[in-house]
């Protein structure tokens, strides 16, 4: 990994911009390497991922790897796959599940992080928050984005959150 990307990762890991709003504390979970050819653009880590510090280290990750036909080894090799959620930290739980990604995160980090991924040829776009950011024209819903996947292919592939 080059020094610029290593520096960016260090900055992300040290980020506390959302700390006052995170009931479980700050723990950014990302996977970046300028050699990555696939980007997983997701929502935000869940509780289990927050605890382990490993992206998609939960049943949703098992489903996603099965959908993509990737082994754990290939998925967790940063030279293959970059993982960049819209919010890097677990936002906590609300009345009907996990809260949405914090709004501060994407404006603070997303463009710099995407700029550190020059080799990405395919972005897997998971869920409504990531799809609203990455897909143009923005879909009305996740269902619409998935149904219209050919509109975005081959650079992007919208999927529901696994």
Q: What is the mean pLDDT of residues 88-109?
A: 95
- 60: tokens are 């949703």
Span 137-151, average pLDDT: 96
Write down all domains in the chain, each with its CATH number in brackets: 3-159 (3.40.470.10)
- Span 101-108, mean pLDDT? 96
pLDDT of residue 127: 97
Residue among 10, 31, 41 nearest 145 (CA): 41
Instruction: Give the three-state DSSP class for 81.
Output: strand
- Please, what is the average pLDDT of the chain? 97
In sequence order, what are the beta bridge partners of 6? none
For range 49-78, the mean pLDDT: 98
pLDDT tens profile 109-124: 999 999 999 999 999 9
Tens of pLDDT, residue by residue over 10-39, are 999 999 999 999 999 999 999 999 999 999
Burial class (CB in 10 A: 0-12, 13-18, 19+), 29: buried
pLDDT confidence of 1, banded at 50, 70, 90?
confident
- Model confidence at 49: pLDDT above 90: yes
Q: What is the pLDDT of residue 113?
A: 98
- pLDDT class of 83 with cuts at 50, 70, 90: very high
Average confidence (pLDDT) over 44-70: 97
């Amino acid at each position: 990994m080059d020094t610029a990307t290593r520096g960016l990762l260090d900055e992300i890991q040290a980020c506390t911009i959302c700390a006052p709003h995170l009931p479980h504390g700050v723990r950014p979970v990302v996977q970046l390497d300028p050699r990555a050819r696939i980007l997983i653009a997701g929502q935000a880590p869940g509780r289990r991922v927050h605890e382990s510090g490993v992206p998609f280290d939960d049943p949703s990750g098992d489903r996603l790897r099965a959908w993509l036909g990737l082994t754990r080894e290939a998925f967790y090799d940063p030279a293959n796959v970059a993982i960049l959620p819209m919010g890097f930290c677990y936002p906590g739980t609300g009345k009907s599940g996990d809260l949405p990604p914090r709004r501060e995160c994407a404006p603070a980090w997303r463009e710099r992080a995407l700029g550190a991924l020059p080799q990405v040829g395919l972005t897997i776009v998971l869920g409504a928050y990531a799809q609203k950011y990455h897909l143009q024209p923005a879909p009305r819903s996740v269902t619409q984005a998935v149904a219209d996947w050919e509109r975005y292919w081959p650079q992007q592939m919208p999927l529901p959150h696994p």
